Chain A
């Protein structure tokens, strides 16, 4: 069972601020992902990483950036938050094996005013 942690759980911030959403996992998973999900809507892949120093943009990069300096840590940064960034952000990880599932963190609910 993967342990994956996201902080903060809730964040309210003003337009134009720079924010970083934290994600850490303790299971040594090589693959990590960030998804964005609005209430009642589907998940959209923002960024993913297959290992240290490897990052790729997903379908919805949403003006954010990620880094993967350590295996366990995959933070997401918004350089200048906008109201359109208001959403739930979900971090997930997976083993590097063909049939391994995604394990999700508890999510960060972001509100940009």
Chain B
């Protein structure tokens, strides 16, 4: 079983819609959870991090964490074509970071 699992997609949403990206992790001892955005050919860029159960909002982005279910999600409201990218879920356990394979998102104008 992989440490971090993501649906690889592709996920397509129309412009202005809500995009929902999901991630599960296997180690209950994981402390911190991160979402990165990666454009094709570029390096990952940090969007949000969360380490407490519940929701955390930053602009159009909301991260949700449910430690009991070992589940992390990212909601993107009012999706824009510029949001089209691969979204990586990362989980920190001890001193190590574990990445999912990423979900490819396309926002259709």
A residues sitting closer than 8 Å to B (CB atoms) are 31, 33, 39-43, 45, 48, 50, 90, 94, 98-99, 101-107, 109
- Whether B99 is near chain A, meaning CB under 8 Å from some CB there, is yes
Tell me the minimal C-beta distance from B6 to chain A in angstroms. 9
Q: Are B43 and A102 in contact (CB under 8 A)?
A: no
Q: List 25 contacting pairs A-B, 8 Å CB cutoff, sorted by A.
A: A31-B95, A33-B97, A39-B41, A40-B86, A42-B100, A42-B101, A42-B102, A43-B88, A43-B99, A48-B96, A50-B95, A94-B97, A98-B31, A98-B92, A99-B49, A101-B46, A101-B90, A102-B44, A102-B46, A102-B90, A103-B46, A104-B43, A104-B45, A107-B42, A109-B41
CB of B31 within 8 A of CB of A102, answer no
Top 9 A-B pairs, shortest CB-CB distance: A104-B43, A42-B101, A99-B32, A107-B43, A43-B99, A99-B51, A101-B46, A104-B44, A101-B34
User: Which partner residue on chain A sits nearest B48 by CB separation?
Assistant: A101
Does B43 contact A105, Cβ atoms closer than 8 Å?
A: yes
Across the interface, do A41 and B101 meet the contact criterion of CB distance under 8 Å? Answer: yes
When chains A and B are docked, how far (Å) is the Cα of A96 from the Cα of B60? 29
Known contacts being A41-B101, A42-B100, is A98 close to B43, with CB within 8 Å?
no
Q: Which bracket fits the contact residues of B?
A: 20 to 34
Contacts of B43 in A (CB 8 A): 90, 104-107
Q: How far is the CB of B89 from chain A (nearest CB, A)?
A: 11
Q: Which of chain B's residues have a CB closer than 8 A to the CB of A39?
A: 40-41
Question: How many whole Å from A33's CB to the nearest CB in chain B?
Answer: 7
Q: In the complex, how many angstroms separate the beta carbon of B54 from the nearest chain A beta carbon?
A: 15
Interface string of B68-109 (1 = CB under 8 A from A): 000000000000000000101010100111011110000000
The B15-33 residues at the A interface (CB cut-off 8 A) are 31-32
Selected from A31, A42, A101, the residue in CB contact (under 8 A) with B99 is A42
For A102, list chain B residues within 8 Å (CB).
34, 44, 46, 90, 97
Q: Please name all residues of chain A whose beta carbon is closer than 8 Å to the beta carbon of B46 when the two chains form the complex.
A: 101-103
